[in-house]
Amino acid sequence: MDTRLLHAFVMLTRIGNITNTAETLHISQPTLSRQLKELEEEVGTPLFIRGKRLITLTDAGIIFEQRAQTILDYLSQTKLDLRNQSTGLAGKIRIGCVESHISTYVAKWLAAFQQKHPNTTFSIYSADGNSIRTQLDQGNLDIGFLIEPVESAKYWAHHIPVTETWGLMMAKKAKLAQRSSITGADLTGLPLLGARRSIVINQVSSWLKIDPDGLNLRGERNLGNNILPLIADYGYYDISISGMLDFYPQDRVTFVPFQPLSQTQHTLIYRKNHQLSPTAQAFINDVTAQIKNMTIPADD
């Protein structure tokens, strides 16, 4: 398949109009229409619903657009890796990272790596563990920094001794805000929010010796910023980690840990049976070397 067809297809999905896309690509409209027809013939299914002004992707077109962009990204990265074999490390490291205490360390590791290798760049994708693992599986990320536990055996994993304490995030005016700790019994009837990962809720329930089915879970979230108004203004409580408080305005919310103390740490993961770019592999090597020498307090 001619990669020019893929490029034209991806450009059209972004612009949505054949005439404007042809102008952007500096080709004639009939030429672009012919290329798109050739592409549909090659993949064997319609990719567009053609309207008077705008085109709409079919279900097959939506899938193909995602795969086409991945192919073009791989091609671009491969060319860059080959060019840089003789000129030192360069290229982009694609990193997925949860919002937690680990964020500070990832920033330090990236800054030090770029100081040694100034031709490198990075892309940070902030998400929860589910989304990061999905992006790793689809080849859209090289590395993930997650909170343990990590369920799958599909990854190489390096334990990171950066500790998170579990508890409740709540408004400063909440009735439990002055407590020094939260027990399982305190959760009864509270309007709770929690992570999408069921393994997290089950782990917390095991620590607190409560039935997870008895929790009044009113909603799920991946990252925390969009639920801030629910916590600060509407009386919801989020089953969360202490590190999330770094991302909230601390004049509006506070964090109270669980009792018994419930803690977990982090892990760096990347896919098995997958060839990383030299730049991504070098970054992993740097980070894992530093992890071996880490001595960190129980909760940062």
Q: State yes or no: pLDDT of 300 exceeds 60.
A: no
Show the domains of the chain with their CATH numbers.
Answer: 3-82 (1.10.10.10), 89-161+265-292 (3.40.190.10), 165-263 (3.40.190.290)
d(CA 143, CA 93): 8
d(CA 275, CA 144): 15
Residue 159, SS3?
A: strand
Supply 79's token pair.
């060319």
Give me the amino acid identity at 106: V
Residue whose C-alpha is closest to residue 287's, from 263, 264, 270, 265: 270
Query: What is the pLDDT, as a whole number, of residue 285?
Result: 96
Q: State yes or no: pLDDT of 138 exceeds 90.
A: no
CB 166 within 8 A of CB 214: no
Query: What is the pLDDT, as a whole number, of residue 89?
Result: 81
* pTM as predicted: 0.70
User: pLDDT tier at 85 (50, 70, 90 boundaries)?
Assistant: low
Alpha-helical regions (H) of 84-161: 102-116, 129-137
Residue whose C-alpha is closest to residue 61's, from 16, 4, 2, 31: 16
CB 139 within 8 A of CB 70: yes
- The mean predicted confidence, pLDDT, of the chain is 89
Distance of CA 278 to the CA centre of its chain: 22
Residue 209 or 295, more confident = 209
Pairing of strands 263-271, 155-171: antiparallel
Query: What is the pLDDT, as a whole number, of residue 172?
Result: 96
In percent, how much of the chain has pLDDT > 70?
94
- Mean pLDDT to the nearest integer, 42-64: 86
- Mean pLDDT to the nearest integer, 276-290: 93
Residue by residue, DSSP assigns 74-87 as HHHHHHHHHHTTTT
